[in-house]
C-alpha cells in the first residue's frame, strides 16, 4: 500500500429532479486528482466521461453538471474501459482513494451490477474526517462550504467531477 499518495475522486451521475426531489442513476463522469502527502502537492489529474448503458442525460443534469448528451456521445466510454484507465494511470488496490461522501459505495455498486472489479479497496471519506476534525458531530456540511470555511479558494464550476476532485485534493492536503 502506498501511504504517500491518495487519489481524490468525484463522480457525477445521470440525475433528474421530479417535483423538487433529486434522483440519480448511472455514472457519467469520474474526476481524479492524486496528491503526494510527502511533497504536499497535487501530482496528477484526469477526467473520464462514462457512457451509461441505460440512463440518459436529462436537461436538468446537463444544466447542473455541464455534461451534455452530445459530450457523452462523443467522449463517453463504457465504465469498464474507464476503470481500466483509472487503474493504469492512478493505480488500483495498492492506492488509497478518497472522496467527499460515499462515492466509493456508488462506484462499487455500479461495478458489481456490471460485473467489473472495482479499482480500489482502501477508502477515506473526507467529509467524515472533516466533521471529526472540526467537532461538527451531527451537523452535515457540503464540500464547498467546508473548503471555504478553511479559507481555501474554490476554483471552477461545482458539479464537474474534474473540478470537484481537484478542489477536494486541495482540501485533503490540509487534512491528511
Burial of 74 (0-12, 13-18, 19+ CB in 10 A): exposed
Residue among 60, 75, 63 nearest 28 (CA): 75
At 89 the pLDDT is 97
Between CA 165 and CA 162 the distance in angstroms is 5
Q: Are 52 and 44 in contact (CB under 8 A)?
A: no
At 72 the pLDDT is 98
At 143 the pLDDT is 97
Q: Which residues of the chain have pLDDT under 70?
A: none
At 20 the pLDDT is 82
Fold of 3-172: Nucleotidyltransferase; domain 5 (3.30.420)
Amino acid at each position: 500500500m502506498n501511504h504517500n499518495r491518495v487519489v481524490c475522486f468525484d463522480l457525477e451521475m445521470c440525475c433528474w429532479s421530479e417535483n423538487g426531489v433529486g434522483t440519480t442513476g448511472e455514472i457519467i463522469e469520474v474526476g481524479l486528482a492524486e496528491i503526494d502527502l510527502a511533497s504536499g502537492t497535487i501530482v496528477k489529474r484526469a477526467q473520464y466521461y462514462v457512457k451509461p448503458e441505460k440512463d440518459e442525460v436529462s436537461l436538468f443534469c446537463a444544466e447542473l453538471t455541464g455534461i451534455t448528451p452530445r459530450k457523452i456521445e462523443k467522449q463517453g466510454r463504457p465504465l469498464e474501459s474507464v476503470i481500466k484507465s483509472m487503474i493504469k494511470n492512478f493505480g488500483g488496490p495498492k492506492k488509497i482513494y478518497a472522496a467527499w461522501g460515499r462515492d466509493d459505495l456508488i462506484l462499487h455498486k455500479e461495478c458489481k451490477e456490471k460485473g467489473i472489479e472495482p479499482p480500489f479497496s482502501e477508502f477515506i471519506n473526507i467529509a467524515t474526517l472533516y466533521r471529526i476534525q472540526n467537532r461538527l458531530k451531527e451537523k452535515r456540511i457540503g464540500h464547498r462550504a467546508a473548503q471555504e470555511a478553511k479559507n481555501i479558494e474554490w476554483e471552477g464550476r461545482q458539479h464537474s467531477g474534474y473540478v470537484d476532485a481537484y478542489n477536494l485534493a486541495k482540501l485533503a492536503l490540509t487534512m491528511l
